[in-house]
Chain A
Amino acid sequence: MLSVEGLTKRFDSVVAVDDVDLELRPGEIHGLIGPNGAGKTTTVNLITGELSPTEGTIEFEGEDLVGLSPSTIARQGIGRSFQVVQYFPEMTVRKHLRLAVRDTTRTVRSVFDRDADYSEEIRQVAERVHLEDELDTVARNLSHGQKRFLDIALVLAMDSKVILFDEPAAGLNESETAEVREILEELRGDYAILIVEHDIDLVRAISDRITVLHNGSVLTTDTPENVVQNPQVREVYLGE
């Protein structure tokens, strides 16, 4: 579904991502882990068009994504969340989701869409992330955990086929992390998901496969069980 081959990103003499191959299969949850500075977020930024690769190809459903803008890539069906939650502090949850649900190319012409009603889609997405009671809450008044859920909801509302979650549990307490896990489990099968996360227990629990990055290169891609048994992974990532 999403295929990355030979992906390389150099910043002057620093190689942030080095010849990375990654394949995301339909319906799978794929973990992407590695120590700080391993190139995880850079890889996500390359796939989503925030950065241009120095070398390599990124194909989504047979189409080359290299050189496309983030908004074009998003419209093709690749959504992402962020390490630092990105939202609109002055807008309600409902307006957030309306912006995500509607046709993003029809903006000025929306003046003719007076009857456009997305309430059912908005309600369904809000329920998936447990925000159905907060639809009329202004986003800045949400708790940190709820803002994380809103970030996830935005991606779901876009009707993406592939979702890249960049540390969806960052800064969350135990119960909120459990909620994120529950939400992600419920998405299994509906989307191809790439999850970058430092919480190794969360990644092990929900991933079908895990890719481990180290110094910008792929150390291994395997099932969670095999990855945690891999001596190289234990050495570079778990410090054993």
Chain B
Amino acid sequence: MASSAEKIEENEPGDVSAVVVRFAGDSGDGMQLTGGQFTLSTALAGNDLATFPDFPAEIRAPQGTLFGVSAFQINFGSRTIRTAGDAPDVLVAMNPAALKTNVEDLPEGGMIIADSGAFTDRNLSKAGYEANPLEDGSLKKWQLLAIDMSEMTLEAVKPFGLGNKEALRSKNMWTLGLALWMFDRKRQPIIDWLTAKFAKKPEIAEANIAALNAGHAYGETAELGYAFQPRHVDRAPADPGLYRTVTGAEAISLGLVAGSKLANVPLFFGGYPITPASAILHHLSRLKQFGVTTFQAEDEIAAIGAAIGASYAGSLGVTSSSGPGIALKGEAMGLALVTELPLVIVNSQRGGPSTGLPTKTEQSDLYQAIYGRNGDAPMPVIAVRSPSDAFHCAIEACRIATQFMTPVMLLTDGYIANAAEPWLVPEVDSFKPFPVTFHEDAPGEGEKFNPYSRDGKLARPWVKPGTPGLMHRIGGIEKSSSTGNIDYSPSNHQEMTDIRVNKILGVADHIPAQDVALGEPGERLAVVGWGSTYGPIHQSVSRARDAGKSVAQIHIRHVWPLPKNLGELLKSYDRILVPEMNTGQLKTVLRDQYLVDARPLNKVSGQPFRIAEIEAAIEEQLDG
């Protein structure tokens, strides 16, 4: 939610205009839900925010274990927020394991709110504590608030006659109630949400509401001491307009629908469940009234195969997956590319290789996106930088796919897919339509239709089966540039390969020039990124500039083909630093394309960059 005029500073020491809260608990404790609802109340309070859901791959990991801890971090403030925050100011720990795995991230003096009721001998032992840290003084460098939330929740929901297990499910609402009190938030939106969510089970809704109210009341009535007094975080300045919160997966789904409308073709989505990409399939399957057909295929290959078939028949085919699934789709991408059919492939990247880290984020599929097919198989690649940016990028992918008759890879990642941020809802009418024209003119007497004839952009005509007089055959085997028939001849393969390469390079004539996100061309250092590193890079460059340093931020959306001015722009800087959540993939591409001395800053821990990490690398580059 960037306002153009105001200055950005984030989470400086002593800063009270922003707060980072981390909710951590068992994977069955409902921490993602708590975080999601806290996010909603924060957005409605007018704060800017960014979130980081961080959860294990197991659905219900064994209770109380260290690896079963699920966390949700939110950074919110009265000014522009770009990241989920380097470190939490407040840690809500629902059990010993959650405390153990998260407490070291908390700076000295930070607040811990712990459910003492969950600190049983059994849970302490599972977390590897020999003594109860809530009682043995080991947490004294932080401010501790230990409350028996379990007991208080059971007490609050007693009137509803639920079993013990069922009743404890409302514990997260008790916690949320306390958090709402602590940050001066309204309960009503949450109550409305609970009422709607449990419309068919009103007793569950009421129990949850009672727990929420009880947590809130506890804050009001207990004398919690100075450190735990409620605080009010003012509205953040923002451009006027209508806002909502959006996750990357939602924004991509909406952008795909918008893109298909702007192209004036129906949307066909073929998907196969995979973390963290499934959310797109879920969202789109509820949007049939927008001309969307969704197909849950038997595997990743069938998902893309069906999408290609739909494109062939005149819909805009879209498929989506994560790294391992994208690998399976590789051959089919080549088919879409050689038959020159429009197709959008969404890759929600996660930690790799192989199964890797299904629920953790990484940017390590850039090579796969740009180069990962057999043969010379160029394909445009667009990288999403934030949840709200995903909407625009999805539309852009639809535009390029249909205008150039090509598959397009849209790169997002697990962090963007799950993270939420406020979104200034765009006016759909402000997007320029790019309606598709299907080729329908049958050739004259004695003439033959050539499916590989080309327009000025080197795009071939899109002909729907069912069109009289234009029957033709396409396929993965090389075709003659002049007839569309099978042709293995050396000169034809050379020509067709060159055309395919040049067509995609030509996309660069139809995309915006590379801008400088912060700073000017020609400064000492350019920090160049792509994808979800936008937030931390932006903050670190912003801080460095505030300190008078000559640093600029360049963030690339069109990763392939690269913007035409990028080479000259990069060469205007003395030094180039490329932070990436991989081992240096964009760095290698930039070196290859421009022979520039791009230096890597790599992180593959499954966690997003911290601002401080990039700041340190900037220092090093400028000092070195």
Q: Do the two chains belong together in a single complex? A: no
